[in-house]
């Protein structure tokens, strides 16, 4: 759908590119030198003024018929496409069992750029102004995104323009101007504020035991004792655990800060060892906690509790292809959902696996100090790691032998 500018002649072919409506976004645009230029909200005075400005520049440049002869540069859509191509290569795991897979940062970038593409994809990238960035931010706020999430997405958008400067595709002044947009401060706008993650209370953890599988309950107890991240407990393998010493050492080559050159080891004390021993596998590469095994156990329990005979049609249904088969290890989202469902059944406030990590940190800090808690949880800077690496690992082992 398109509408001619009211200033254009009413009869005959217009001498000027038309003022048009982009149906999907509801925004006005004009096609200049073979490229669409976004003008703003369709029908608004601002979009009309922008149309007049673009047309004036087009006339001043001699009415170029193609982008190569005119001043219309790379569009925001084209910049996004090029940047995501770069990100697809850059943000991949470099080692470990998932070497070559995309990291979560790629998905964060793709989601962060979605609103920019919707609102200003047709705009020339060098014409993208701080006011446009603020408009994208306001749209994110209206969608219900929390303040910290908005700041993170805006930061990634600005990072894309910085990358464009490095590639010679964007005017450095464009990035400089965008970088002056300050991040949102608490309660400065209508953006939601997220509550800080707090430790989960033991009285909210124990009641869920009857409502989760043996695998999930073992993961909960191990995470509570060791302070592991949810993803770390989900991907435990026998071969990654050194059991030659009194305190076991769980070494991870694929973890949150691996791309920064950090190592990550989790000391496992006697209490956590007792929980893990029944789950150790003969195959060192097999995952300790398997949702496929949990599903088999659930079905077996259902059959044992059944009071009527299984009908022939039901036998046939079990052998036919049905739902997707369970994985060989838990994903973090599945782990979280299992706990969420169990909390509802147990009638306790909902909590997440990350709160188990915070609970462990709080307890360790109370008993051994903040430095010990930081070491156990793997929080460190590169400088501290280089200076205190050996002393920290020894300290972590000592703490684990007493606590977990």
- Is residue 403 domain-resident? no
Residue 260 confidence (pLDDT): 54
pLDDT at 97 over 80: no
Residue 47 domain flag: yes
- Domain shared by 295 and 355, yes or no: yes
- Can you tell me the distance from the alpha carbon of 273 to that of 277, in angstroms, rounded to the nearest whole number? 6
Q: What's the whole-number mean pLDDT along residues 91-99?
A: 74
Return d(Cα 88, Cα 72) in angstroms, integer: 27
333 and 240 in a common domain: yes
Model confidence over 268-310: pLDDT tens digits? 999 999 999 999 999 999 999 999 999 988 888 888 877 777 6
3-state secondary structure of 249: strand
User: 1 pLDDT band (50/70/90 cuts)?
Assistant: very low
Q: Give the pair of three-digit tokens for residue 379.
A: 């929080």
Q: How far apart, in whole angstroms, are the C-alpha atoms of residue 58 and residue 317?
A: 68
Residues 28, 106: one domain?
A: no
Q: pLDDT tens for residues 175-184?
A: 999 999 999 9
Q: How far apart are the C-alpha atoms of 381 and 371, rounded to whole Å?
A: 13
- pLDDT tens digit sequence for 362-400: 887 777 777 666 766 665 543 332 322 334 455 566 666
Task: Tell the burial category of 89 from Cβ atoms under 10 Å away from its Cβ (0-12, 13-18, 19+).
Answer: exposed
Helices (H), 5-146: 45-60, 76-90, 104-112, 114-120, 130-142
Phi-psi region of 66 (alpha: psi -120 to 50; beta: other; left: phi over 0): beta
Residue 402's pLDDT is: 67
Percent with pLDDT over 70 in the chain: 78
Q: Are residues 207 and 332 in the same domain?
A: yes
- Based on the fold, state whether residues 126 and 51 are members of the same structural domain: no
Q: Are residues 221 and 276 in the same domain?
A: yes
Q: What would the DSSP string read from start to end of 41-68? A: ETT-HHHHHHHHHHHHHHHHTT--SSTT
Angle ∠(170,174,175) on CA atoms, nearest 5: 85
Task: Give domain status of residue 80, yes or no.
Answer: yes
Last residue of a domain, one of 5, 29, 61: 61
Residue 392: inside a domain? no
Kindly state whether residue 354 falls inside one of the protein's structural domains: yes
> Residue 383: what pLDDT?
38
How many domains does the chain fold into? 3
Contact in structure between 31 and 75 (CB atoms under 8 Å): no
Containing structural domain, residue 51 = 19-61
Contact yes or no for 75/122 (Cβ under 8 A) = yes
Assess whether 353 and 254 both reside in one domain.
yes
Domain boundary among the residues 180, 215, 241 is at: 180
**Residue 256: per-residue pLDDT:** 57
Mean of pLDDT values over 327-345: 92
Q: What is the CATH number of the domain that holds 126?
A: 1.10.150
Q: Is residue 402 part of a domain?
A: no
Mean pLDDT of 127-145: 93
Query: Same domain, yes or no, for 134 and 264?
Result: no
Arithmetic mean of pLDDT, 65-76: 61
Q: Supply the CATH number for residue 346's domain.
A: 1.10.443.10
Please indicate, yes or no, if residue 13 is contained in any of the structural domains.
Answer: no
Q: 246 and 352: one domain?
A: yes
Q: Please determine, for residue 245, whether its predicted confidence score (pLDDT) is greater than 70.
A: yes
User: What's the whole-number mean pLDDT along residues 162-168?
Assistant: 94
Contact 376, 400 (CB under 8 A): yes
Instruction: Look at residue 24 and give its three-state secondary structure.
Output: coil
Question: Comparing 235 with 13, which gets the higher pLDDT?
Answer: 235
Q: Is the pTM of this model over 0.75?
A: no
The average confidence (pLDDT) of the chain is 81
In a domain, 192, yes or no: no
Whether residues 210 and 345 share a domain: the answer is yes
């Amino acid at each position: 759908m398109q509408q001619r500018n009211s200033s254009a002649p009413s009869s005959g072919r217009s001498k000027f590119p038309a003022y048009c409506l982009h149906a999907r976004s509801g925004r006005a645009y004009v096609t200049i030198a073979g490229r669409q230029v976004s003008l703003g909200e369709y029908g608004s005075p601002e979009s009309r003024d922008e149309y007049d400005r673009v047309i004036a520049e087009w006339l001043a440049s001699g009415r170029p018929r193609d982008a190569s002869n005119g001043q219309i540069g790379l569009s925001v859509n084209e910049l996004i496409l090029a940047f995501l191509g770069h990100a697809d290569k850059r943000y991949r795991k470099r080692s470990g069992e998932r070497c070559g897979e995309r990291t979560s940062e790629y998905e964060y970038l793709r989601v962060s750029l979605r609103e920019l593409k919707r609102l200003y994809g047709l705009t020339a990238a060098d014409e993208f102004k701080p006011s446009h960035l603020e408009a994208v931010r306001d749209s994110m706020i209206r969608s219900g995104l929390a303040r910290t999430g908005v700041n993170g997405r805006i930061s990634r958008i600005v990072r894309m323009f910085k990358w464009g400067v490095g590639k010679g595709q964007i005017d450095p002044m464009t990035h400089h101007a965008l970088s002056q947009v300050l991040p949102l401060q608490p309660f400065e706008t209508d953006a939601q504020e997220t509550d800080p993650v707090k430790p989960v209370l033991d009285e909210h953890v124990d009641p869920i035991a009857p409502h989760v599988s043996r695998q999930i309950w073992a993961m909960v107890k191990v995470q509570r004792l060791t302070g592991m991240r949810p993803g770390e407990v989900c991907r435990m393998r026998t071969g990654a655990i050194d059991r030659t010493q009194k305190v076991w050492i769980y070494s991870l080559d694929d973890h949150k800060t691996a791309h920064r050159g950090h190592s990550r080891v989790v000391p496992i004390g006697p209490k956590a060892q007792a929980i893990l021993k029944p789950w150790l596998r003969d195959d060192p590469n097999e995952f300790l906690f398997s949702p496929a095994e949990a599903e088999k156990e659930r079905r077996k329990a259902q059959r044992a509790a059944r009071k009527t005979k299984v009908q022939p049609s039901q036998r046939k249904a079990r052998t036919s292809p049905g739902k997707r088969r369970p994985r060989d290890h838990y994903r973090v989202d599945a782990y979280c959902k299992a706990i969420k469902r169990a909390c509802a059944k147990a009638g306790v406030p909902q909590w997440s696996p990350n709160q188990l990590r915070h609970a462990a940190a709080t307890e360790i800090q109370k008993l051994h100090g903040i430095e010990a808690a930081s070491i156990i949880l793997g929080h460190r800077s590169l400088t501290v790691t280089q200076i205190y690496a050996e002393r920290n690992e020894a300290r972590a082992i000592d703490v684990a032998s007493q606590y977990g």
